């Protein structure tokens, strides 16, 4: 762990660990931690450190300018590709081995850094039923 092991960092890590399948903006995280007096600047500073350490992924959702962050060091994320819905933002896991038929010429994929974007089943069903 780089940097200092501050109480703000501990609270941020606890929050992210409790929500491994979700993406949050820095503002959403700061709002969730506001009762614990974790400032927006502390959230940004710690998110940058966690990204450098490979514990979180930063992504951008279609049509949005802000970045979203997901904790990927959890057991549910290890060796999984992330499927991200561009409509609702939900994140789903797919075992990296499922991509084997697509990979050729010895190309390897870093599952923690790989995000496939599309539309989830729930959003597709909502569109179909509308």
Predicted pLDDT at 86:
81
Predicted pLDDT at 20:
78
Q: pLDDT tens digits for 98-108? A: 777 766 777 77
Q: For 106, phi and psi rounded to 5 degrees?
A: 70, 15
- Report in angstroms the alpha-carbon separations of 71 from 85, 96, 104, 122, 129: 17, 17, 29, 23, 33
Predicted pLDDT at 4:
66
For the chain (length 130 residues), average pLDDT per consecutive 10?
75 92 90 92 95 86 81 74 80 74 73 79 88
Asked if residue 85 lies in contact with residue 118, where contact means CB atoms within 8 angstroms, the answer is: yes
Predicted pLDDT at 1:
44
Q: Hey, what domains does the chain have and what are their CATH numbers?
A: 7-129 (1.10.10.10)
Q: Which two tokens stand for residue 10?
A: 């501990």
Rounded to a whole number of angstroms, the CA Rg of the chain reads 16
Predicted pLDDT at 98:
73
């Amino acid at each position: 762990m780089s940097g200092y092991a501050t109480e703000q960092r501990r609270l941020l890590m606890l929050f992210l660990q409790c929500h491994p399948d979700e993406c949050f903006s820095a503002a959403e995280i700061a709002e969730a931690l506001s009762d614990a007096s974790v400032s927006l600047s502390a959230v940004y500073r710690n998110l940058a450190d966690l990204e450098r350490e490979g514990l979180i992924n930063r992504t951008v959702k279609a049509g949005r300018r802000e970045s979203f962050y997901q904790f990927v060091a959890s057991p549910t994320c290890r060796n999984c590709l992330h499927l991200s819905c561009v409509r609702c933002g939900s994140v789903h896991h797919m075992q990296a081995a499922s991509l084997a038929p697509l990979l050729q010429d010895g190309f390897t994929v870093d599952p923690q850094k790989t995000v496939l974007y599309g539309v989830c089943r729930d959003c597709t069903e909502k569109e179909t039923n509308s």
